[in-house]
Amino acid sequence: MMIKKYLYFVICVFSTLTISSQSNIPLGYWKSHLSYKTGIKVAKTKDKVVYASSRGLISIDQEDLSVKFLSKEDGLSDVIVSNLYYDDKSDKMIIVYSDNNIDILNGGHVSNIPFIQTNTSVLGSKTINDIFISDHIAYMATDFGVLGFDLDALEFTFTTFTTEKIQCISVINNKVYVGTEKGIYNIAIKGSNVSDFYSWKPLDNVPKDVSEMAVFADKAYFLAGNKVYSLDSSDNISVAYQLQNAEEGLKFISEDGSTLMIGVVKGDAGRMVFLDNNGQMTEKGYGCVQRLQDAVEDKKGRVWYADEWDPIIYTESKTGDCRYLRFSVPYDNDASGIRFKKIRRILVLMV
């Protein structure tokens, strides 16, 4: 089925052969000029740092910091990216869109997985809240339940329908853990009926409204309220980190680094706490990141921040000075007019 391409800010060159020789755009082709100014989510691959921007992906080489952009016009199946997940074993990137469409990016090949987006058996919300990848299976936490997706076969392996919104998910010690507004449930991957939520075990003494999960140094961590908790192999719970300032809130926890990374926000300001496997903390204070959304640490020890407002931000170390990457791109993706220049060249602005 043909998919209509929506162009938000494009330049179309109508010219003679002499004019076309002055441009790197072939005659009759379109070139997209999108606003890649901010990164709302960030992930890392073996050699790249990849940001989800408002209209596509920003890929940054970890060696020389060279940048490439990827949008729907370049082969992605949709427009607004909401999250990114990378599997280092298969070298595949899962791209989740705001309408719950999914792409699997493998090198330069894109496989579209529209199953959740187009599934008519799900009557309510289909929002994909979180994904955790273990042994080539992507475990998906959604508003309607839990799904397993085989990254090798590119097919769903199970669906667990629930009446509870599954807010986050992780896998450790051959068990799947999910966080909900009521607490945490788990189930053994083997020898259990994963598809039946009544087979899942609720954990005792767990706070309610578990919103984030991560696995670091053979421990599961989860976020609830103003505390980060750790969960050992016997499902014993202890507080790993707690906010002391009532004006602050916990935004996220991330295992994508040499330490557990904890995002803290206060109004329109953000800071980071880095927690190692011995419980020792390193902090990056306020003044660098504003609307903090996400963070990863690359193989060179740089920390890359996703900020809803600012350009791409990184530090050379956990406590290093802020550095910025800015690109020669339009201010945003909204436009409302057409300008002519020397008749032969037409600038088309579309909304």
DSSP 136-179: TEEEEEETTEEEEEETTTTEEEEEEE-SS---EEEEETTEEEEE
Residue-level pLDDT at 4:
37
Question: Under 8 Å CB-to-CB from 341, ≥6 apart: which residues?
Answer: 347
Q: Measure Cα distances from 107 to 93, 114, 179, 187 in Å.
A: 9, 20, 32, 34
Which ranges of the chain does DSSP label H, i.e. alpha helix? 17-20, 115-118
Instruction: Look at residues 231, 226, 237 and name the one whose alpha carbon lies nearest to residue 264.
Output: 226
Which pLDDT value is given to residue 333? Answer: 52
Q: What are phi and psi of 8, to 5 degrees?
A: -95, -30
Could you tell me if 157 and 150 are in contact, meaning their C-beta atoms sit under 8 angstroms apart?
Answer: yes
CA atoms within 13 Å, Cβ hemisphere of 232: 7
Strand order in the sheet with 249-254: 249-254, 260-266, 269-275, 281-289
Max distance between CA atoms of the chain, in angstroms, equals: 75
> Judging by beta carbons within 10 Å of its beta carbon (0-12, 13-18, 19+), is residue 188 exposed, middle or buried?
middle
- Give residue 311's pLDDT: 77
Mean pLDDT by 10 residues, the chain (351 residues): 37 33 47 62 96 91 95 92 96 97 95 96 95 98 98 98 97 97 97 97 95 95 97 93 96 96 97 94 94 96 92 94 80 55 53 50
178 Cβ contact list (under 8 Å, min separation 6): 141, 146, 166, 167, 168, 169, 184, 185, 186, 200
Phi, psi of 310 (to 5 degrees): -85, 170
CA dihedral 149, 153, 157, 161 (to 10 degrees): 40
State both tokens at 319: 């406590």
From 301, 229, 300, 241, select the one nearest 271 (Cα to Cα): 241
Q: Closest by alpha carbon to 163, among 180, 138, 187, 188?
A: 180
- Tell me the whole-structure pTM to 2 decimals: 0.85
- Neighbour count for residue 185 (Cβ, 10 Å): 22
Sheet holding 155-161, edge to edge: 128-134, 137-142, 145-150, 155-161
Give the residue ranges of DSSP H helices in 25-156.
Answer: 115-118
Euclidean distance between CA atoms 90 and 135, whole angstroms: 9
Q: For the chain, give every domain's residue range.
A: 1-33+334-351, 36-118
pLDDT at 50: 97
Q: Tell whether domain 36-118 is in CATH 2.40.10.
A: yes
Instruction: Report which secondary-structure segment, H or E, holds 187.
Output: strand 183-188
pLDDT of 178: 99
